[in-house]
């Protein structure tokens, strides 16, 4: 029984670096979502993006900062996030 427990412990210790590395490596899509979330959070109002809801619970649509020229330009969609932004995020977060 002790040998079995030791074998399981050794197997776990040997496998854990790869498991941990896989969990830490985030995909570009996950990073884009994080960048979008941060962008929306930095907007002072409730209508950063067209799909957000205003205080009354209605979709912001054309009233959103994203839809209006000038002023704030929040990132709302994955296509708004460039490869350079993802690379910068990885550098800043050491991924």
Are 74 and 49 a contacting pair, CB within 8 Å? yes
The predicted pLDDT at position 5 comes to 44
Confidence band, pLDDT 50/70/90 cuts, at residue 31: very high
32-88 pLDDT, tens digit per residue, is 999 999 999 999 999 999 999 999 999 999 999 999 999 899 999 999 999 999 999
Are 44 and 20 a contacting pair, CB within 8 Å? no
Cα Rg for the chain, rounded, in angstroms?
A: 21
Cα–Cα distance, 31 to 92 (Å, whole number):
12
16 pLDDT more than 50: no
Nearest to 90 by CA among 22, 25, 19: 25
Confidence band, pLDDT 50/70/90 cuts, at residue 25: confident
């Amino acid at each position: 029984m002790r040998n079995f427990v030791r074998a399981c412990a050794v197997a776990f210790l040997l496998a854990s670096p790869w498991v941990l590395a896989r969990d830490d490596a985030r995909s570009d899509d996950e990073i884009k979502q994080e960048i979008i979330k941060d962008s929306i959070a930095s907007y002072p109002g409730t209508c950063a993006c067209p799909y957000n809801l205003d205080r009354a619970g209605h979709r912001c649509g054309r009233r959103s900062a994203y839809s209006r020229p000038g002023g704030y330009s929040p990132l709302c969609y994955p296509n708004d996030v460039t490869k350079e932004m993802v690379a910068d995020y990885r550098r800043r977060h050491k991924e």
